[in-house]
Structure 1
Amino acid sequence: MIFERLRLVNFRNYRDVVLSFSPRVNVFLGENGQGKTNLLEAMYMISQGDSFRYSDNSTLINTNTSESVIQALITQNDLHYKLKLGLSKSRKVLTLNDKRVNSADIRKIFASVVFSPESLSSIKEGADHRRELVDELLVTFDRKNAQLIADYRKALKTRNKILKNFLEGLQDKVVTQNLLESLNPQFVRLATDLTHARITALHGLSKDFNNAMQYISGNSSVDISVEYLVSDQNAVSFTREEVENAITKRLRELHDAELSSGTSLVGPHKHDIVFLYGQKDSRFFCSQGQQRAIILSFKMAQIVYHRKAHGTYPVLMLDDVLSELDKAKRDALITFLHEINTQIFVTTTDFTLPESFSLDQLRVVRIKDGQILE
């Protein structure tokens, strides 16, 4: 997969810019707050359907305008794809070769992996950050999982709407319970499928994850493992049937609590992932540097696994990550990037960084205040 060209119209701090790229390494260079990350965000959105930053549509649209547009030309397996994403405050319209598609459709075709300061901090942040890491892995593991994730989110949204309507007095208890009983079989099936898919993907990544951690840390004896928590119980070895039983049981137990809270309290949107370093919970027993090394290794393993599964590497986007790492980890990551044949995008304020790549196919794009300085 190669980004050939990108155009942004009224996206964040860009009025109207067009960029072409090197098929190998592209460095977005500039001071903080100039729009480097905005470029990566646009590229990720057009190839994955969603942002890797927490934002709503209104924050994506340039001030004093009502709509923004992202357009891209992507080449993959000698095929050319024309993508367009139109954004207004209330809607998002995504097209592929002039035909309307959804995010799941796009994620089945294109693969992008983002390294960001937020992702490197996901161990000490909330469980939603760690779930995002694993769901990104799911699509690497099997691109059909993009549809599974979308289907689960849709069922969850419907279920939450039913519970919210009851809490707000828009429907009585009998109607609410009847609606939940009709929806729950589908919800449990999707929740079970998604949970089991996460567990399967984590098992599949285990060897590459340990290898990457040993490479980054320079310690061949370091041991990394993962726990997948369902209602505070480690379910990493659960069969699909055991997952289904656990979710069904928990739904019964929290039925009244869900009615009282007006939201779904059971399902993979409530699960957690714990990274163990030497059999100890990395949230409490690892330094910040070790935590970053774990997530860095996790994403490196995801890239290696993608190559094994699909025969190609995903596009890599590094958002000011190298400055977050100490010299040893930074050098190890750059060496790793040199060894893989894929398109790479890097944002940085470090004007010496391009020298670290020393590649013929290197493009440096200087950015200032939403303007491209050629």
Structure 2
Amino acid sequence: MIFKQITVTDFRNFDSKIFDFHPSLTIIIGENARGKTNLLEAIFLSINGAGFRESKEEELITLGKGQAVVEAEWEDKKEEQKFQIVITKRGETIEKKFFVNKTKKGYYSYSQYQIKSVLFAPEHIDIINGSPDKRREYFNRFIAIFDPEYKKKVHNYEHALYKRNKILEHHTNDQTLKEELLFWNDYLEKQAVYISAKRQEYSDYLNDNQSIDGRLFRINYLKNELTQELLNKVYDEEKRLRRTLIGPQKDDFQIHLNDKNVHHFGSRSEQRLAVFWLKLNEINYLTHFFKKKPILLLDDIFSELDTKNKKVILDLIGNYQTVLTTTEKELLDLVNMPKTVIQL
């Protein structure tokens, strides 16, 4: 499918606007605080049913208004497809309605009509610079796109981990503690085995696709296994500290460029390129899995890249419909492909 047009009404800082998009590349250019990211978020919302920045969904609605409407027009095999999301504030609650070609749908049905999107936003640098939970969250969110069972296992694991930690935290009788933990140990192990296997599987995929413009990235999966045997070994320490000490909630992932750990020793440009390596592999994996190319959404990712790496990324995105935002007018001179420019 080709993304052609979006109409936004009372969405963030837009009152009523229509924007058209190129089947290859659309560049949204303008100074800061002009609405570039808001427009990109409207596209993301139309595909995924939720924004990527709001802490409260009411923030998607223009201040002082009661309803926001986002309507996206796509072309699929020369047939027009229209997707609409209506977000309405009713007192303290937010109501969302989904429409496909003017027919109301539930969210799941709506999502089945959509292609996938790959988003690269400035905050994704936290995958490199942030704590291990940022990297686990990245893996969880991406794997769940194509593996609903993984999403279920992670939810089950986190719920069971909470229960187990409560038992450890409040136990008063050492005689009965092992018995109380027995069920949760077994349950956690079953979830953890699946989670670790899927994380390893995607890490292996990344390591089979290392290259960007001749530079080789790789990822080291620092697996923290949870088994009955390992739980028995740490039992005394867990009893003393009153919390679970092992398991995939303590996994980490370290990315290397050649032999350099980019988390600790990479330049800002190299760190951003490392994130793009992850995003490029998202694109390739989703294309292979769903047999459809995703749309690529790039939010101001060029600001800390040198000219060489900017050209590398622009060359790599040529095979995918891309919408990007920037404040840099000189970026237009680096683009050697058909494009539409939206000036805000």
Deviation (angstroms), 1:180: 8.6
Please state whether the residue corresponding to 2:202 is helix, strand or coil. helix
Q: How has the CA–CA distance of structure 1 residues 134 and 153 changed in structure 2, closer, same or farther, with 3 Å as cutoff?
A: closer
Equivalent position of 2:61 in the other structure: 61
Equivalent position of 1:273 in the other structure: 253
Does residue 115 (structure 1) correspond to residue 92 (structure 2)? The answer is: no
- Which segments of 5 or more consecutive residues in structure 2 lack a partner in the other structure? 171-177
Deviations 1:199-220 (A, max 9, x none): 2112123232x222xx1xxxx4
Kept in 2, the 8 Å contact 1:148–1:190? The answer is no
Deviation (angstroms), 1:344: 0.9
Deviations 1:19-76 (A, max 9, x none): 3322221111211011110111222233234443363324333222454343323444
Equivalent position of 1:226 in the other structure: 219
Q: How has the CA–CA distance of structure 1 residues 113 and 320 changed in structure 2, closer, same or farther, with 3 Å as cutoff?
A: same
Quote the RMSD (CA, aligned, Å).
Answer: 4.2
Aligned with residue 99 of structure 1, among 101, 105, 110: 105
Q: Which has the larger radius of gyration?
A: 2
Equivalent position of 1:234 in the other structure: none
Deviation (angstroms), 1:333: 1.3
Please state whether the residue corresponding to 2:64 is helix, strand or coil. coil
Kept in 1, the 8 Å contact 2:7–2:18? The answer is yes
Equivalent position of 1:127 in the other structure: 132
Question: Percent of counterpart pairs with the same letter?
Answer: 24
TM-score normalized with structure 2 length: 0.76
Q: How has the CA–CA distance of structure 1 residues 23 and 278 changed in structure 2, closer, same or farther, with 3 Å as cutoff?
A: closer
TM-score normalized with structure 1 length: 0.71
Q: How has the CA–CA distance of structure 1 residues 268 and 100 changed in structure 2, closer, same or farther, with 3 Å as cutoff?
A: farther
Please state whether the residue corresponding to 2:276 is helix, strand or coil. helix
Kept in 2, the 8 Å contact 1:117–1:324? The answer is no
Deviations 1:150-189 (A, max 9, x none): 42464367558868999999xxxxxxx9999777766654
Equivalent position of 2:267 in the other structure: 287
Does residue 318 (structure 1) correspond to residue 298 (structure 2)? The answer is: yes
Q: How has the CA–CA distance of structure 1 residues 186 and 52 changed in structure 2, closer, same or farther, with 3 Å as cutoff?
A: farther
Kept in 2, the 8 Å contact 1:127–1:273? The answer is yes
Kept in 1, the 8 Å contact 2:49–2:107? The answer is no
Counterpart of 1:229, as a letter, is L
Kept in 2, the 8 Å contact 1:57–1:90? The answer is no
Counterpart of 1:53, as a letter, is R
Kept in 2, the 8 Å contact 1:205–1:302? The answer is no
Alignment of 1:128-147 (within 5 A): 128-135=133-140, 137-138=142-143, 144-145=146-147, 147=148
Q: In structure 1, how many angstroms separate the alpha carbons of the residues matched to 2:185 and 2:158? A: 13
Deviation (angstroms), 1:131: 2.9
Q: In structure 2, how many angstroms separate the alpha carbons of the residues matched to 1:107 and 1:269? A: 31
Kept in 2, the 8 Å contact 1:119–1:129? The answer is no
Kept in 1, the 8 Å contact 2:161–2:188? The answer is no
Kept in 2, the 8 Å contact 1:115–1:321? The answer is yes
Kept in 1, the 8 Å contact 2:217–2:256? The answer is yes
Please state whether the residue corresponding to 1:323 is helix, strand or coil. coil
Q: In structure 2, how many angstroms separate the alpha carbons of the residues matched to 1:311 and 1:78? A: 18
Equivalent position of 1:73 in the other structure: 73
Q: How has the CA–CA distance of structure 1 residues 62 and 156 changed in structure 2, closer, same or farther, with 3 Å as cutoff?
A: farther
Q: In structure 2, how many angstroms separate the alpha carbons of the residues matched to 1:280 and 1:312? A: 34
Q: In structure 2, how many angstroms separate the alpha carbons of the residues matched to 1:45 and 1:302? A: 19
Kept in 2, the 8 Å contact 1:137–1:201? The answer is no
Counterpart of 2:73, as a letter, is L
Q: How has the CA–CA distance of structure 1 residues 90 and 230 changed in structure 2, closer, same or farther, with 3 Å as cutoff?
A: farther
Aligned with residue 348 of structure 1, among 308, 311, 326: 326
Deviation (angstroms), 1:279: 4.1
Equivalent position of 1:10 in the other structure: 10
Does residue 27 (structure 1) correspond to residue 50 (structure 2)? The answer is: no
User: Size of the alignment, in residue pairs?
Assistant: 334
Counterpart of 1:365, as a letter, is I
Q: In structure 2, how many angstroms separate the alpha carbons of the residues matched to 1:110 and 1:278? A: 34
Kept in 2, the 8 Å contact 1:8–1:69? The answer is yes
